[in-house]
Amino acid sequence: MTHLEKRRLGATDVEVTTLGFGGANLGNLYRAVSDEQASEVMDTAWRSGIRYFDTAPHYGLGLSERRLGAALVDRTRDEYVLSTKVGRLLVPNEDATGSDMDQQFDVADDLRRELDYSGPGVRRSLEESLQRLGVDHVDVVFVHDPDDFTREVLDGALPELVRMRDEGVVGAVGVGMNDWRAPLRFVQESDVDVVMLAGRWTLLDRTAAPLLDACLARGVSVVAAAPFNSGLLARADPRADSHFNYETPDARLLQAARDLAALAREHGCILPQVALQFPLRHAAVASVVAGLARPDHAVSAARWLSEQVPSAFWDDADTVVEGLL
C-alpha cells in the first residue's frame, strides 16, 4: 500500500489524505458502471492508501452516495474521511424522461434536483445524505455550486452548517465551486474551514491564486479538485480531442499542455504525475481530489504522488504557463 501524507483542514481536527477519491464516477458520470465495477475501484483506492472520499447528492441522483456507503460499510469509521455536499435536494420528478443524461449522469431521472440553500434545506439535505450513505455523520460538508446564491448561502446555509459543526454533527464546513471569486467572498465573510475548488488551481490554470493566498492568510484549507482540467492534463501526450474545463482547448492551451508534457519527460516524469502534484505545492492546499474511474487510475494516482518531481521542472513549467498570461 502506498503511504499518503495527511493534512489538516483549517483549524479543525479533520485530516485528509493528500489524494482524495472523487465520487462522481460512482454516480455513472457520462457512462454507466456496474455495482461490481464501482466496488472494485473503491477497494483498489483503499488498498492504494486513499482515506478521503468525496461525493454529493447531485452525482447520479444519489447513486454515488449509496455506492460509496456500501463500499465503506465494513471499514472502521474513524479510519477514513467522508465529505458530501448540500444545496440540491432530491425530490420526485413528475416530468421524468427516463434519463438524466442532460445532467451528464447515465441514470434514470425518477428524481430531480431542487436548489435549496436555506438553513432548513441544508439540514434536510444532509439528513437524507446520511441515510443514503448509511452513516451517522460525515466529516466535511460543502455547499455545492452556489454561484448565483451568495446572499442565501451567507444568510442561511453557512450559519446552519456552522451550528451543525458546533453541535458535532459535522467536522468541517466549506463551499465547493468551479469559479474562485464567490469562494473568496465566503472566505472573507463567513466561518468556513475549507474550500473545494475545481479546475482553477492546476498546472495549467492558476487563476485562483488570489483565493488561495486569502485562504492561507485566514487559515482556510483548499481541496483542489479536477487537477487534470477535465482531460487535457490526464495523458502523457495531450491529444487534440482532449477537453479543457469541459470545452475544446484553443491552440495555445493545447500547445502549452504539450510543452509541459515534453518538459515532464525531460525531467523523468509524465504530465499527469506533475499535474496531480502541482496543487499541493501551495501551502493552503490539503488534498487533491481526482475522479478515479478505474482501479488502475487509483493505483497510478497514488504512485504519482509518492514519486518526487525534480525542482527544476517546476521552474521550467512556470515559464511555460507565464507565456499564456
Of 151, 261, 148, 285, the closest CA to residue 204 belongs to 261
Tell me which of 52, 59, 80, 117 is the catalytic residue.
59
In the numeric block, the cell 465495477 is attached to 37
Q: Under a CB-based contact definition with an 8 Å cutoff, are residues 279 and 290 in contact?
A: no
Residues 6+ apart with CB under 8 A from 314: 278, 281
Say whether 59 is catalytic.
yes
Can you tell me the distance from the alpha carbon of 97 to that of 276, in angstroms, rounded to the nearest whole number?
38
Identify the bridge partners of residue 289 per DSSP, sorted by sequence position: 20, 225
Q: Under a CB-based contact definition with an 8 Å cutoff, are residues 140 and 83 in contact?
A: yes
> Which are the catalytic amino acids?
59
